[in-house]
Structure 1
Amino acid sequence: MRPGIHPVSRPVVFRDRAADVAFLTRSTVRSDRTIEWADGTVYPLVDVEISSASHPFHTGTSRVLDTAGRVERFERRYGHAANRA
């Protein structure tokens, strides 16, 4: 590796706002916000909307899709297929 061309990796706290869970990991992302971790050290803080703690694939929960409403909306907009024949 050539020196001086790679970003600096350092400990960063990622906080999932949906699940109210925080992860301490290494990253190159920059943040102006900070948080004091359980060990008393202050780390940069990055808020994320979704992580493995709140993602439906990892949690096993799924969202209910309103397919009936989608079909009705499609039929209202474009008409029934039987009416066109």
Structure 2
Amino acid sequence: MLSREMPNAPVELAFNDTEIKILDTMIKDTAQVMSSPPLEKYTIKFAQLGGYTGNKNKHPPGNIVIWRGLRRLNEIQIGWELATERCG
């Protein structure tokens, strides 16, 4: 996971503009997210879509919540693009 190795890397390495907009719109910033470096911040938001809470243990998100977050973000992105698509 890139955010564990390079948490200060640009967010655009892992997420496109639409995904960033979706994550900013859907997931509110918590204290943990606000204090995190840029790429780690969006990885935590992404994992929260998959059920990551990060409350007590402060462990980074694991593979299962990342996978669930990926599936959920994919579905949301399809709906987002259909909703914002301009016809005729």
Q: Same fold (TM over 0.5)?
A: no
TM-score (norm 2): 0.22
Larger radius of gyration: 1
TM-score, with normalisation over the residues of structure 1?
Answer: 0.22
Instruction: Please identify which structure carries the higher strand content.
Output: 1
**Bigger proportion of residues as helix:** 2
